[in-house]
Amino acid sequence: MNITTRRTLLTGAAALLASPALAQFPDRPIRIISGFPPGGLNDIVARAVAQALSPLLGQSVVVENRAGAGGSVGATAAARAAPDGHTLWMGIVDTQAINPFAYSKLQYDPIKDFAPITLVARFPFALVVGPSQPTVKNFPELLAIARSKPEAISFASWGVASTPHLAMMRLSQALNLKMLHVPFTGQAPAMQAVMAGQVDIFALPAGGAESMTRDGKTRAIAVFAPGEIPLFPGVPPIKQYGVPIETGLWKALYAPAGTPRPVIDRLNQAMREALKAPTVVEVLRQQGAVAEPTTPEMLDELGKNELLAWGAVVKSTGATLD
């Protein structure tokens, strides 16, 4: 690159930074696209964040649910939106690290099509058994049934090759079990099916698991965490039974690729404040999580590392949609 060309590019970049459009951002309402139905964890967190962001940005921030294909419908819509910061994407490990290996014709690239803003939080999983298995009080009792009767135990997920599906596939591989997978379109309908006794068990984020167990008809029997978690004191980690599996969700905020860096920085700064809001802190606490704001670069590195890790899991389990 010669000096003249370099100067031209630098002058253009400076002009962009000083443009009225950036100085006035945001100049209209902002939408956060969620790739899952209302009522589930992604929706709950996205709405808490939206409410906290609105006064910080001086514009209304709304959540738009675009469910389907393991979050891919929403991710595709977000990736194709104008890169001006007025459309954001609440991505999760499924959409950013698993779907690229589960779908051979994915219509978005989790790295190239998104500009990272910040990690929101991580959410540990708990294993819940529903009223369809009233005699199961702990994991060894569940294991005894699963071993004696192949496919007698059914497990829910929010889609083929989703994190709950992969967690249970890893568990099945480790213990040489055969269980019946029943996928749903989101966390909320999967929870309802287990609570209604239509499906036996569900590995899901701890906050959702806690809400399922309040009536006493469903029970948490293990957590996929390094140790016990505050929402379930006394419930052992699954590794206590010789299964070294730790898994859960992470959620992060993105903008479409090409969004100007000053806009990304403004959103990152606003998110750091939003994640301190008492309402957001309480929502995360109820879900067994704490806020983990990052720089865009840190989120980018996390996404790339997670692609490698979850790609290996998908390949080992064969849990694809093709």
Q: How far apart are CA 133 and CA 199, in angstroms?
A: 9
Domains of the chain, residue spans: 29-123+249-317, 124-241
**Radius of gyration, alpha carbons of the chain:** 21
Q: Do domains 29-123+249-317 and 124-241 have the same CATH topology?
A: yes
User: For residue 256, what pLDDT band results from cuts at 50, 70 and 90?
Assistant: very high
Burial of 90 per CB tally in 10 Å (0-12, 13-18, 19+): buried
Q: Give pLDDT tens digits for 54-96.
A: 999 999 999 999 998 889 999 999 999 999 999 999 999 999 9
Retrieve residue 295's tokens.
């720089």
Between strands 61-65 and 30-34, the pairing is parallel
CA-closest candidate to residue 321, choices 128, 138, 166, 201:
166
At the topology level of CATH, where does 124-241 sit? D-Maltodextrin-Binding Protein; domain 2 (3.40.190)
| Chain segment 95-145, per-residue pLDDT in tens | 999 999 998 889 999 999 999 999 999 999 999 999 999 999 999 999 999
Instruction: Please tell me the CATH superfamily of domain 29-123+249-317, with its number.
Output: Bordetella uptake gene, domain 1 (3.40.190.150)
Q: Where are the beta strands (DSSP E) in the chain?
A: 30-34, 61-65, 87-92, 114-129, 154-157, 180-183, 201-205, 219-223, 248-256
Task: State the pTM of this model.
Answer: 0.84
